[in-house]
Amino acid sequence: MKEITSKFDKVLNASAEYGNVNHEPDSSKEQQRNTPKKSMPFSDQIGNYQRNKGIPPKSYKDSKIYIVGSGIAGMSAAYYFIRDGHVPAENITFLEQLHVEGGSLDGAGNATDGYVIRGGREMDMTYENLWDMFQDIPALEMPAPYSVLDEYRLINDNDSNYSKARLIHKLGEIKDFSKFGLGKMDQLAIIRLLLKNKEDLDDLTIEDYFSESFLSSNFWTFWRTMFAFENWHSLLELKLYMHRFLHAIDGLNDLSSLVFPKYNQYDTFVTPLRKVLQSKGVNIRFNVLVKDLDIQSNTDGKVVEALITEQDGKEVKIPIGKDDFVIVTTGSMTEDTFYGDNKNAPIIGIDNSSSGQSAGWKLWKNLAAKSTIFGKPEKFCSNIEKSAWESATLTCKPSALVEKLKEYSVNDPYSGKTVTGGIITITDSDWLMSFTCNRQPHFPGQPDDVLVLWVYALFMDKEGNYIKKPMPQCTGDEILAELCHHLGIIDQLDDVIKNTIVRTTFMPYITSMFMPRAKGDRPRVVPEGCKNLGLIGQFVETNNDVVFTMESSVRTARIAVYELLNLNKQVPDINPLQYDIRHLLKAAKTLNDDKPFVGEGLLRKILKGTYFEHILPIGSEEQEDHESFLTEQITKFKDWLKGIKG
């Protein structure tokens, strides 16, 4: 690609940066300081300056790209190979074991047989990589030149999201959800966790660290049901989540920090992205199982020389040339999904003795057997009772259930606007059941008189309060009965069953990426020494991002492309709002249920009438500091300050 940069040869040939870019800078390790040798942005200096086009150091017009898995991560990798790597789209081939693209980001069905959505991802305005891509992907329903991002902004800018019934109990009564209910010691525990180094949290669980008072608080109910955390999950991942979403913590109880698409996430994101890739010439080969990689190691590193696949029942080896690249999605959170309906419970034929044997996990296990640089997949797929939960998609005609839903809805469910604003959690449900109704229609072509609701539960081993079985043993009608019981409409169950189609999904590994882990358990995106192999998805290591989001999937794909092609471009670290004093102060007050945090009164006196007064969270000037375990220290500080003033 020398012709692109030929006019800049004098500068580039003398540059120590050119060809040696750190493609994944780490804001948690960087001291941001301008020096004579600094030329690139700080690690999390996001914005339009990062919109420069990457320039490959050489032409890849003859390179072949094989992407194993066609989920959002794999599709994002294809997009960045084309946009920033200038790889011809027709040189890119997806190898997908299923018969449909999208991976875990799915949505299917119809009003006659019932719709099905296995799960959803929480969305945020700070997903810099996701929006970097989707600001260039043509909109689903708006004409050119508008993008998916333009559609997303149009509906969310004009229809704010919030909940008026985040918690319910006592057979459908709305419960007060205005408070987090964290004691001073629990607040201090959160602060201490934020201050801890990531390296100190290997293999620790949430219940190893937090007290029972924290685990029984409203805060934890909000958090665990919104993000699907369990008490036995990774304390490290919880810490990363707290940093990642610190700016949104004051919207945790009423969900006002969330933004949702018009339709389900498959139709919103996968469909338009697939259309773009296919229109450019990308190939998608379905029903192709990649079982292993033939990797050769020498003093120069590790090189993939062939893909070992199974096609039509036969083993087929796909050779990989010296200028070709392979991208692999490791693991799968929705592997081995079992399905049920109104009259049938999911058929569960898998246990820990046979876990992790399906295609998505076997490929990762085969890689890990070759070298420790590929991680330890067994840490994530060997404990199904701790990584499983079940969801149900309800396709609803008008019924008593729909009428009850209206009591919890911000707007009329048929209005096209925000309905429940996110999940409603039944706090006295032994299953810890939650349900939600997003904007309707939830699918393109959905009939006007049909609503789609989504239900899930976290406690798989518990009997229901009304149906004395664990949820996975229940038919769809029995799940409706349990839900109707908690909504106080069990006497109208027959009407609800008659007008509701239920499609259930039991997923053994749906929270496997949250399982406790240590350094090295997840491989890096481009493992050490690998020359033509990148690993993407929810089971690879990034510096500071979290798992279980579309943003993290896109981030891993983008890092893989930039690193393998050695582009002169960085992938910015996560949005730096965790370092913003405004959000830190707001978080301190929010965790204290909007009562003044220690030292707030003093800060108000110092900043009153100054340019920086607005950084303080909303509050009355007359508010006084509450007594706490830190009052003595604050008093000493005030005395010291008086001494300075003379």
Number of helices (H), then strands (E), in the chain: 21, 18
Which amino acid, 56?
A: P
| Residue 322 buriedness (CB in 10 A; 0-12 / 13-18 / 19+) | exposed
Cα radius of gyration (the chain)? 26
Q: What are phi and psi of 512, to 5 degrees?
A: -65, -30
- 241 catalytic? Reply is yes
Rounded Cα distance between 162 and 410, Å, is 8
Cα–Cα nearest to 18, from 30, 31, 2: 2
402-408 long-range contacts (CB < 8 A, ≥24 apart) are 402/451, 402/499, 404/172, 404/487, 404/488, 404/489, 405/437, 405/451, 405/453, 407/165, 407/172, 408/164, 408/165, 408/168, 408/174
Cα–Cα nearest to 242, from 191, 202, 287: 191
Rounded Cα distance between 153 and 66, Å, is 34
- 266 catalytic? Reply is no
| Catalytic, out of 122, 230, 335, 482 | 122
Rounded Cα distance between 35 and 26, Å, is 18
Cα–Cα nearest to 547, from 515, 504, 580, 582: 515
Rounded Cα distance between 94 and 96, Å, is 6
Rounded Cα distance between 327 and 318, Å, is 14
| Catalytic, out of 115, 241, 266, 509 | 241
Q: Which residues of 127-157 are buried (b: 16+ CB within 10 A; e: fewer)?
A: bbbbbbbbeebbbbeeeeeebbbebbeebbe
SS3 string, 70-137, reads: CEHHHHHHHHHHHHCCCCCHHHEEEECCCCCCECCCCCEEECCCEEECCCCCCCCCCCHHHHHHHCCC
**Cβ neighbours of residue 200 under 8 Å, at least 6 residues apart?**
none
Q: How many CA atoms lie within 13 A of 622 on its CB side?
A: 0
Rounded Cα distance between 353 and 611, Å, is 63
| Six-digit token string for 231 | 């008490």
Rounded Cα distance between 528 and 507, Å, is 32
Rounded Cα distance between 455 and 542, Å, is 31
Rounded Cα distance between 574 and 126, Å, is 8
Catalytic residues, by residue number, are: 122, 241
